[in-house]
C-alpha cells in the first residue's frame, strides 16, 4: 500500500504540473513518464546509480559479490535457472546466506527451470531458503505449456540494490555453450529508489506463485544513500495487464525520436503497429539500426523475423547480424537520453504472452555508454543490404513465408 500510495501521489503532482524534476531534461520526456505511470503504475525515481553489464563474466562476478554482501534479504526471480556450474555456484551462495539467517526467496519459471536437477534446492530449503515455481508443470520437470511464461529476470538485495536484464542463470550465459559460443547480453545493477519498484514486482509475482495472499516479503522503502541522478521507471507487462506497457514504451520511443533509434533483440517479430512505427521512422530520415543474431536458437522464429526485414530496408531502416556468438540483448535507445533495458524482446510473445519487466532509463551517461557498446557490437556485425536480401533463395523465402504465418504464436 505504501508503494502504491507513493505512485498515485506522484502521478497527481506530475499531471497537475506540480512535480519538481531534478533534471530539466526529464521534462522533455514527460509524456513517456506519464504514460508509464498510467499504464503500469511505474513510479518515476530520479536518484539512481546504474551499472551496465554487457558480458556474463562481469555480471555474475558482481551478482555473486552482491549475494555475499547481503545482510537482510535476497529476492531472486529468473525465467531460466539451471543446476550446472554457475547455477550451483549461485544456489550454494544463496544456501550459505540462508544459513546465516538472511531471508532468501527464489522464484523461477516452470518451463525455464525444467533443466534443474532433482534435489538442486534440497540443502537450500534445509537452510531455511524458500522456493516457488511460476506455473509449475503437472508432471515434474516436463511441461508443454509454452504460453504465459514468466520471462522476468530480476534480483533485489536488502532493498538497496537490484539487478534486471537479459541474463538467465546457466553456463551458456558465460559463453560456455559449444552451440552458441560467446553470449552477448545486457544487464544492469541499480542503486536508488527504483530498487523499491523491482521489489514491489517481486512481491506480486511471489504472492501469485507461492499461492499465498498473505505472502511475506519486505516492502519497505529505505532511504537511499546514493549519489545517482538517473531517472528510472520499472515497467512490467504480461497477460494479466490491461495495457501492453513495455511495447507501448518501445512504440513511444520510436515516435518521439528526433535523431536515432538503436535496437538489439534476439527475436524480431513486430506486430503491425511496431512495423509501421519503424517504417515511418526510417522514411523520416532517422538513424534507425537493428542488430539481430546471425544464428538462430529457434529456427521458425528466426525465419519469421527475416520475413519482416525487406519492407523496412526499403524504408531506410538498417539491419545487422551479430557474428561474434549469440546476441540475446534486449536494448532500445532513443536519441541521447532515453534507454530501455530489460527482458522484453521485440516480438509478439513478449508483447502479449509473456510476463516481462524493463527499466526505462532517462540519463545521458547511461545512454552514451549503451550507444558506445552498440557501435562496438557493429564491429562484429554484417549488414543486411537490400542487394543481399533480394538474393535469398526460393527455399529461404518459402521458410520465411511459412514461419510468418505462424508469427502470432511464435
- 251 and 360 in a single domain? The answer is yes
Final residue of a structural domain among 163, 194, 227: 227
CA distance readout (Å), 246 to 18, 30, 35, 271, 390: 26, 16, 11, 13, 33
Rg of the chain, C-alpha, whole Å: 21
- 312 and 363 in a single domain? The answer is yes
- 271 and 191 in a single domain? The answer is no
- 296 and 163 in a single domain? The answer is no
Q: d(Cα 253, Cα 333) in Å, to the nearest integer?
A: 8
CATH of the domain at 280: 3.30.870.10
For the entire predicted model, the pTM comes to: 0.94
Which is catalytic among the residues 36, 189, 191, 328? 328
Which residue did the predictor score with more confidence, 222 or 346? 346
Name residues whose C-beta falls within 8 Å of residue 359's C-beta, 6 or more positions apart in sequence: 164, 188, 190, 194, 232, 233, 234, 235, 340, 341, 342
Place of cell 534476439: 266
- Cell numbers linked to 314: 526499403
Which is catalytic among the residues 47, 109, 158, 363? 158
Give the residue among 195, 180, 207, 209 at the shortest CA–CA distance from 79: 209
φ, ψ for residue 141 (rounded to 5)?
65, 20
Give the residue among 87, 89, 94, 92 at the shortest CA–CA distance from 113: 87
Q: Whole domain around residue 212: which residue ranges? A: 2-23+49-227
- 290 and 217 in a single domain? The answer is no
Domain membership of residue 235 (yes or no) is no
- Residue 229's pLDDT band (boundaries 50, 70, 90)? very high
Based on the residue annotation, tell me whether 330 is a catalytic residue of this protein: yes
Q: d(Cα 329, Cα 266) in Å, to the nearest integer?
A: 7
Domain membership of residue 217 (yes or no) is yes
- 292 and 363 in a single domain? The answer is yes
> pLDDT digit string (tens) for 201-220?
999 999 999 986 655 666 65
58 with 187: CB under 8 angstroms?
A: no
Which is catalytic among the residues 191, 247, 330, 399? 330
- 258 and 212 in a single domain? The answer is no
Domain membership of residue 281 (yes or no) is yes
Which is catalytic among the residues 59, 82, 97, 153? 153
Instruction: State residue 298's pLDDT score.
Output: 76
Q: d(Cα 388, Cα 392) in Å, to the nearest integer?
A: 7
Domain membership of residue 29 (yes or no) is no
Which is catalytic among the residues 55, 205, 335, 347? 335
Least confident of 1-15, 95-109, 217-231, 337-351: 217-231
pLDDT at 225 over 90: no
- 255 and 211 in a single domain? The answer is no
Which is catalytic among the residues 151, 187, 252, 289? 151
CA-based end-to-end distance of the chain: 37
Based on the residue annotation, tell me whether 335 is a catalytic residue of this protein: yes
Domain membership of residue 232 (yes or no) is no
Instruction: State residue 306's pLDDT score.
Output: 87
Name residues whose C-beta falls within 8 Å of residue 8's C-beta, 6 or more positions apart in sequence: none
Instruction: State residue 358's pLDDT score.
Output: 99
- Cell numbers linked to 249: 514504451
Torsion over CA: 374, 379, 384, 385 (sign): positive
Give the residue among 184, 197, 195 at the shortest CA–CA distance from 3: 197
- 83 and 178 in a single domain? The answer is yes
pLDDT at 171 over 80: yes
> pLDDT digit string (tens) for 258-283?
999 999 999 999 999 999 999 999 99
- 106 and 221 in a single domain? The answer is yes
Final residue of a structural domain among 227, 262, 297: 227
* CA angle (384, 185, 312) in 5-degree steps: 25
198 with 234: CB under 8 angstroms?
A: yes
Least confident of 4-13, 94-103, 334-343, 392-401: 392-401
Instruction: State residue 7's pLDDT score.
Output: 86
> pLDDT digit string (tens) for 356-377?
999 999 999 999 999 999 999 9
Domain membership of residue 31 (yes or no) is no
- 253 and 381 in a single domain? The answer is yes
In the chain, how many domains are there?
2
Neighbours of 316 (CB within 10 A): 16
Crossing angle, helix 30-40 and helix 2-15, to 10 degrees? 140
Based on the residue annotation, tell me whether 227 is a catalytic residue of this protein: no
- Residue 395's pLDDT band (boundaries 50, 70, 90)? confident
Domain membership of residue 286 (yes or no) is yes
Q: Could you please report the per-residue DSSP string of 54-117?
A: EEHHHHHHHHHHHHHT-SSEEEEEES-B--SHHHHHHHHHHHHHHHTT-EEEEEEETTTTTTSP
- Cell numbers linked to 337: 537520453
Domain membership of residue 53 (yes or no) is yes
- 260 and 114 in a single domain? The answer is no
Q: d(Cα 305, Cα 349) in Å, to the nearest integer?
A: 13
Place of cell 521507471: 233
Based on the residue annotation, tell me whether 153 is a catalytic residue of this protein: yes
Amino acid at each position: 500500500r505504501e508503494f502504491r500510495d507513493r505512485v498515485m501521489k506522484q502521478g497527481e503532482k506530475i499531471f497537475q504540473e506540480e512535480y519538481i524534476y531534478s533534471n530539466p531534461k526529464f521534462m522533455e520526456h514527460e509524456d513517456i513518464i506519464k504514460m508509464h505511470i498510467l499504464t503500469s503504475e511505474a513510479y518515476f525515481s530520479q536518484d539512481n546509480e546504474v551499472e551496465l553489464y554487457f558480458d556474463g563474466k562481469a555480471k555474475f562476478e558482481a551478482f555473486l559479490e552482491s549475494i555475499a554482501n547481503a545482510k537482510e534479504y535476497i529476492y531472486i526471480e529468473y525465467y531460466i535457472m539451471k543446476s550446472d556450474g554457475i547455477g550451483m555456484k549461485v544456489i550454494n551462495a544463496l544456501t550459505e546466506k540462508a544459513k546465516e539467517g538472511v531471508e532468501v526467496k527464489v522464484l523461477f519459471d516452470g518451463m525455464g527451470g525444467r533443466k534443474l536437477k532433482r534435489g538442486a534446492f534440497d540443502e537450500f530449503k534445509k537452510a531455511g531458503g524458500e522456493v516457488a515455481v511460476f506455473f509449475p508443470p503437472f508432471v515434474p520437470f516436463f511441461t508443454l505449456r509454452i504460453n504465459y511464461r514468466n520471462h522476468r529476470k530480476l534480483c533485489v538485495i536488502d532493498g538497496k540494490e537490484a539487478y534486471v536484464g537479459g541474463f538467465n542463470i546457466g553456463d551458456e550465459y558465460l559463453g560456455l555453450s559449444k552451440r552458441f559460443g560467446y553470449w552477448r547480453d545486457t544487464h544492469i545493477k541499480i542503486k536508488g529508489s527504483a530498487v523499491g519498484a523491482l521489489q514491489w514486482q517481486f512481491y506480486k509475482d511471489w504472492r501469485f506463485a507461492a499461492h499465498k495472499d498473505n505472502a511475506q516479503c519486505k516492502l519497505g522503502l529505505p532511504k537511499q544513500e546514493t549519489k545517482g541522478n538517473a531517472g528510472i521507471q520499472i515497467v512490467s507487462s504480461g497477460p494479466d495487464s490491461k495495457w501492453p506497457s513495455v511495447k507501448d514504451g518501445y512504440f513511444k520511443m520510436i515516435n518521439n525520436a528526433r535523431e536515432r533509434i538503436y535496437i538489439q533483440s534476439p527475436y524480431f517479430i513486430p506486430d503491425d503497429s511496431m512495423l509501421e512505427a519503424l517504417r515511418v521512422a526510417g522514411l523520416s530520415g532517422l538513424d534507425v539500426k537493428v542488430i539481430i543474431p546471425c544464428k538462430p536458437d529457434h529456427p521458425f522464429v528466426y525465419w519469421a523475423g527475416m520475413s519482416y526485414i525487406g519492407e523496412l530496408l526499403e524504408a531506410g531502416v538498417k539491419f545487422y547480424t551479430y557474428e561474434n556468438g549469440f546476441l540475446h540483448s534486449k536494448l532500445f535507445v532513443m536519441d541521447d537520453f532515453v534507454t530501455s533495458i530489460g527482458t522484453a524482446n521485440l516480438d509478439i510473445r513478449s508483447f502479449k504472452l509473456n510476463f516481462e519487466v524493463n527499466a526505462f532509463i532517462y540519463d545521458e551517461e547511461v545512454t552514451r555508454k549503451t550507444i558506445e557498446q552498440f557501435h562496438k557490437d557493429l564491429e562484429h556485425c554484417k549488414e543486411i543490404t537490400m542487394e543481399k536480401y533480394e538474393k535469398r533463395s526460393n527455399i529461404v523465402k518459402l521458410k520465411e513465408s511459412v514461419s510468418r504465418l505462424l508469427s502470432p504464436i511464435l
